[in-house]
Structure 1
């Protein structure tokens, strides 16, 4: 892989990993993953959801300590802290803009809470059948298809649903029938 210098400069904005580690060490039920769970722009933690504060409180704690970062929980046991300008969705949008791709014709696939940001917006989203409960809140979004099949079969199901290898079927927003019926009477 080749690093993109523009992207690195973009996400390095306000990235202070040591300050984040100091602030996060004050919270119960959260501990650092080993070095192989860390990277230059990701601080990985394990989280005990019975003991740790809720994600809303973690974000508030970071803000109160003047730390600017994104907080991502996956599988209800992993917590990632990444730069405020970094996420799967932000990377997707950055490179689509850089390379001139139309975001509404990009297919993305997710299975856990760490994919939520990438699935939101105007992409064509597929959530595979073996997804974690964190993604259930996206079920009402018309550009996100929830596949019944697991893993690669769920991806294939999503490709077929959108006719992604053909003309690409872009779904239309659904009109709430109860509202429209109320107006008609």
Structure 2
């Protein structure tokens, strides 16, 4: 499958939307460019802390340590390479010493930080995004902007790799669910109820796949009734 087979890409934990674009004079798909949805960026940037928030979180990250006897090791480090204007990324060295997501969210509320925190990539990454941003919010934005009927939308999401994944399961849209090896309770301690209580996992709108190859994805889309080339 090619990037241009998709209508949009929701990136950076829901803080950016990109559209794939290819020049008409290009014969191959090797020069596909991705165009940022600037209006969505303007929408979520309201009261975003930006550089001031980044400096505060870098200082906070230095206080999250792992103690082994007299030796202390920092657990969370800034990941400037994977950060963007509205997504502050941090690398997690040892997920076993992460603060529970519930406690981290409470800490940010107490500090009056207008942002969302979420663990991703199997709790090896921490992303901090504007309070108005999320992957589910980006999907709603696209449906309103382009008049997309949600039953016609397909979302591809990992099973337990990200702490916001359950927001993308329920609803009218269809979901392709990839497997992940990280135990759910490692990053989902914010949830005190079984996922089955809020999401119908046996729904025909949710298809699970084990691999991540083009063939696996194509097969899942066909099961959902989506034509593929």
Output the TM-score relative to the length of structure 2. 0.62
| Shift, 1:152, TM fit | 2.5
Residue 40 of structure 1 aligns to a residue in which SS?
coil
Structure with more of its chain in strand, by fraction: 2
Q: Which runs of 5+ in 2 are unaligned?
A: 1-33, 65-74, 189-193
Q: Output the CA distance in 1 between the equivalents of 2:77 and 2:49.
A: 18
State yes or no: 1:14 paired with 2:47: yes
State yes or no: 1:102 paired with 2:144: no
Residue 2 of structure 1 aligns to a residue in which SS?
strand
Question: Residue 23 and residue 129 in structure 1: after superposition, are their counterparts in 2 closer, same or farther (change >3 A)?
Answer: closer
- Give deviations 1:54-109, integer Å, cap 9, x for gaps: 11111111110001212221112101011111122211110111110011210111
| Shift, 1:24, TM fit | 5.8
Q: Output the CA distance in 1 between the equivalents of 2:181 and 2:226.
A: 21
Q: Output the CA distance in 2 between the equivalents of 1:165 and 1:128.
A: 20
Q: 1:122 aligns with which of 172, 190, 197?
A: 172
Q: Which runs of 5+ in 1 are unaligned?
A: 167-185
Q: Output the CA distance in 1 between the equivalents of 2:207 and 2:164.
A: 14
Question: Residue 24 and residue 163 in structure 1: after superposition, are their counterparts in 2 closer, same or farther (change >3 A)?
Answer: same
Question: Residue 98 and residue 132 in structure 1: after superposition, are their counterparts in 2 closer, same or farther (change >3 A)?
Answer: farther
Residue 207 of structure 2 aligns to a residue in which SS?
strand
RMSD over aligned Cα atoms: 2.7
- Give deviations 1:117-169, integer Å, cap 9, x for gaps: 44443210011245754499578432322124433233122212211129xxx
Contact 2:170 2:200 in 1 (8 A): no
Question: Residue 130 and residue 54 in structure 1: after superposition, are their counterparts in 2 closer, same or farther (change >3 A)?
Answer: closer
State yes or no: 1:156 paired with 2:218: yes
Question: Residue 104 and residue 113 in structure 1: after superposition, are their counterparts in 2 closer, same or farther (change >3 A)?
Answer: same
Structure with more of its chain in helix, by fraction: 1
Output the TM-score relative to the length of structure 1. 0.75
Question: Residue 71 and residue 55 in structure 1: after superposition, are their counterparts in 2 closer, same or farther (change >3 A)?
Answer: same
In the TM superposition, structure 1's runs of 4+ consecutive aligned residues that sit over 6 Å from their partners are: none
Per the alignment, residue 81 of structure 1 pairs with 128
